[in-house]
Each structure stands twice: as C-alpha cells, then as structure tokens.
Chains A and B, each alone.
Chain A
Amino acid sequence: MNLETNRTTQDGVSAVAVAVVGGMIAATALDAQTRPPTDLEILNYALSLEHLEAAFYNQGLRQYSSSDFAQAPFFAKLGDVTANEVYAYLSLIRSHENTHVRSLVAALRSFGATPVSPCTYNFSYSSVEDFLKVAQTLENTGVMAYNGVIGMINSPSIRTTAATIATVEGRHAGYLNVLNNGLAAPAAFDAPRTMAEILAAIAPFSRSCPA
C-alpha cells in the first residue's frame, strides 16, 4: 500500500468532483423498468453512488481539518494511535471513493457508454460527529447497494470488479461503525437492497440533478 500514490491521485480528482454538470437520471429511470438492468446500467448506478460518496468526503474534509476532529468529544475516547489515524483514514476513504469514480467513468467510456455526472448535494451535517454519522450511513448504504446488484451483473470480469469495490465499501462501513460506537459487522450477512430502495434512501442527499 502506498499512501503517497493515493495523495497524488486524489489531488487530480478534486477538480472532477467540483465540476457538477450531470445527474442520476439514468439510474432513476430504471425504477419503472421491469427488465433486469444491463451491466452498463449497473455501472452507471454504481457511479451515481460513488459520486455521492466522493462529493461527501471532498466537501467534509475541506470543511473540517484534522484539528477539528481532534477537538471533537469522541476523540478523547480514542487512544493516541487510533485518534491520530482518524483524519488520515477518512482521507484514505475519500481517495478510494474518488478512485472508484474515476475507474467507473473510464470503464463506462471504454464500453462506449456515457457516464452519469454528479448531482449537487446537501449532506446537512453540522459537526464532526454528524459528519461521521452520515459517513457511516453512506458506506453501509453503499454495501447494500453493491450487494443488491452484483447478482445481476452478467460479465464475470465486471462482477469481479464490483466485488472488489463492494468489499472495500464493507471495510469502510466496518471502520465507521466502530467510530460510531457500533459493531463493525452487525450481522452474519449484509442485506442486499434493490436499486429503487437505494435511490430512495439517498434521495434526501441530492439537491438537484441536471436532466
């Protein structure tokens, strides 16, 4: 693992996340469909979630510094080692989400499809602790989202890629559960959720999505 590499790539991605020009329309339109989604539709659905996550961390870690985290009350309940890691680990999660966005955009383009653009978002947190709660919600939602669509992906290689993202979202979710005073893994099986369920769950975070 090489965090220097992560830092370099993530700086290059920030400009992408700031350029808000698209929407989640393609994924939303699937609600009314009865046929199973195509692999490319699933990739665009995943991209819409990764846009959301990337924007969340890009905003939040711009808004809060490591000293803001250090002053948060929960910080006192962490030991020196884990406390000092919190900001670095959140920055690493941000880097992963931006990498997922970039990879999905590249994959969709390579298949001749048009990647969905990010929406504008409203995450409505007002403290470091709120931010961590929203992060926990988003990551656990991401796990349920990937688990809900992996079975429908026809291409074995796309399925493998989705699985290797899903388990990383699972790792993020486990970590954020612990920071929020929960069990890393609350059940023996994570719950798969349908696209419609996930889109309804994340709707409150999206202020506007360009048509």
Chain B
Amino acid sequence: METTPQIHPRSSRRNFFTTGALTLGIGASAVTITGRPALAQTAPAPVTDIDILNFALTLEHLEAAFYNQGLTRFAASDFTGASFVPLVGTLISATVFDNFKAIRDHENVHVETLKTTIRSLGGVPVDPCQYNFGYTNFDGFVAVAALLENTGVMAYDGALGLIQSPALRTAGATIATVEARHAAYLNLISLTIPFPAAFDTAKTMQEILAAAAPFITSCIATPGVGGGATTRAVAGPKDASTIQQFLLLDGTASVAFDARPLRYAWTVLSGNAGLTGATTATPTAQFLLFGPAVFELTVTDSAGGTAKDTVTINYAGNGK
C-alpha cells in the first residue's frame, strides 16, 4: 500500500487563508463592510446576473489594481532576488516574472470583459475603488497576491450557483478555473500547498466583500464621502453655507452595489442637534444650539453590507 509523504509547514503563511482576510489587512480603515445577521424582516429579491457580474467586477478591479501597482513598483530583479527563489529552483524561479505578468494581464482582461458584458446586458459597471494593499516588500506582495487569488476562487465558486444564464455560467467558470491556477501558483511560490482540499470552498458575496474590505480605502474620490466595495454612502448637504435651524439632510446620492433600495440610519456623532426621521434617506436635523454638529449616515444594502459617510454642519444662526 502506498503511503503519502508528509508535507511539513515551513511558513506561518500556510495557515493564513483561514484567518488572513481579517488579520492581513490594513487595520483601521474609513470603510466598513460588515455582515448584519438581523436583516430578515424583508426577504431580499434574488440577485440578478448583472448584480453578480458587478460583484465579480468589484473583485477583478481589486486584483487588477493590485498587480498593476505591484508590477510597476517591483522590477524583474525583485522577482529573481525574492527570498523563495533559492528554495524553488531554476525550473520555477526562471518564470516567476513571466507568471506575474500573465496573471496581471488576465485580471485586466477580466475587468474589460466584465465591463463589456455588463453594458451589453444594459447594466452599469461599477468603478474601481481606491486601494491600500498593505505590503511593504516583495514577499508581502506575494502573500497578498495569494490571498486575493484564493479569495477570488471562493467568490466565483460561490457565485456560480446563483447565475441564471447558462452562457454567463460558462464564462464565470472559465474565469474561476483561471483564478484557481493563479491561486495554486501563488501558493506554490509561497511554499504552501497549491491545492489544499479536494473541494474548494464556495463563499457568499457578503463573506467575500467582508474579506475584500480591508484592502479598500474609498470608492469614490470626493472628499468626505465614504464607501464600501461598491455600496457607498453619501451624506449631504456638502455645502451648507446658508442653513436654518431646521435643515433637511440628504442621503439620496448613496449607491447600492445591486441598485436595490438601501436602508438608512442617521446618527448625531457630536454637537447639539437632534434628528427626525433618522431611518429615512432625508431626515430633518434640528439645531438646539449654535455650533458645529457631525451627522453620520450608515447605509445597508440587500446583502447586509454597510457603508458610512459623515457631514459636518455649522449652525451659526438663522439666515447665515
């Protein structure tokens, strides 16, 4: 009877796939995408194929930005001089840079293909966000790459069951297996097991967005606007130079990743003010005293993802 040689861990990275998404990230971030288990009062409509394509595009934007940045930052010599190179031998080390360039090109092709497909179906492709991948050296870059690709596999495996169109399922599958090839390769040069289980794990959109959140700093460039991976909160008015004691706040510019209705929750973070209609898109703020007040808007999308934004309004008296 044959025996299976044991594979000994040489790197603490071997375990990071189970914990990495939450520990490897950037730390505190302006962006919050958190699961909300208590959403059951209204069953959300099933996600559409366009929603799923935009979910995939969110991840492909993230991956493409990651490799576009990394391959600008690191030179071929960084690849040939990486710490793993002596351990993997010439057969593998000779092609590391080529493999990374191919992976980068694939992610960029995925982005363009998904955008074209979403438009052809009458949808609006999500834009890329601002990212912070948090690595400080080449080894860190490789570790984040492995994390992103393994996350991508779980995302596509989770989404394929939800896609209605057979043709889009096929397209999704042919991307999924490419992400799996990337993941196996990056595991290999990270000195961890390329194929850790007989079945990959399928994860929900909500789980994947939570895993991606630590890498996202903001989703649109406008100052003072927060945002999630694709769901974003926009609290207004941004220009309140002429305010009354009673002022209508405005969250209607907020965007849901799936274009379904958002739930709104406003709070007074600081200042002497009160709110009426705090769970509507347009509550009324009432200033009790002169001075600045900070209002925070939290929007929750159909998948339970949340995004926040704040607006600071200075009440200096009627007519000002």
Contacts and interface: CB of A to CB of B under 8 A. Distances in A.
Contacts of A166: 173, 176-177, 180
Nearest to A65: B2
Helix, strand, loop or mixed for chain B's interface?
helix
14 contacts: A7-B4, A78-B92, A85-B7, A147-B173, A150-B169, A165-B198, A166-B180, A167-B156, A167-B183, A168-B180, A168-B199, A175-B185, A181-B95, A188-B106
A95 B5 CA distance: 12
Contact of A171 (B99, B105, B184): B184
A81 B173 contact: no
A153 B198 CA distance: 20
Interface residues of B, number: 65
Interface string A5-39: 01100110010000000000000000000000000
A92 B193 contact: yes
Interface residues of A, number: 70
A159 B165 CA distance: 13
A1 B197 contact: yes
Interface in A159-209: 159-161, 163-175, 177-179, 181, 183-192
B92 A82 contact: yes
B177 A167 contact: yes
Interface in B139-180: 153, 156-158, 160-162, 166-171, 173-180
A101 B21 CA distance: 32
B6 A82 contact: no
Interface in B84-136: 85-93, 95, 98-99, 102-103, 105-106, 109-110, 113
B3 interface: yes
Interface centre among A147, A163, A169 (most CB of B within 10 A): A163
Contacts of B98: 183
Interface in A95-114: 95-96, 99-100, 103
Contact of B184 (A3, A147, A175): A175
Interface of B: 1-7, 10, 85-93, 95, 98-99, 102-103, 105-106, 109-110, 113, 153, 156-158, 160-162, 166-171, 173-185, 188, 191, 193-202
B174 A191 contact: yes
Nearest to A1: B196
B197 A82 contact: no
Interface of A: 1, 3, 6-7, 10-11, 14, 61-62, 66, 74, 77-83, 85, 87-89, 91-93, 95-96, 99-100, 103, 143, 146-148, 150-153, 156-157, 159-161, 163-175, 177-179, 181, 183-192
Contacts of B110: 188
B176 to A, nearest CB: 5
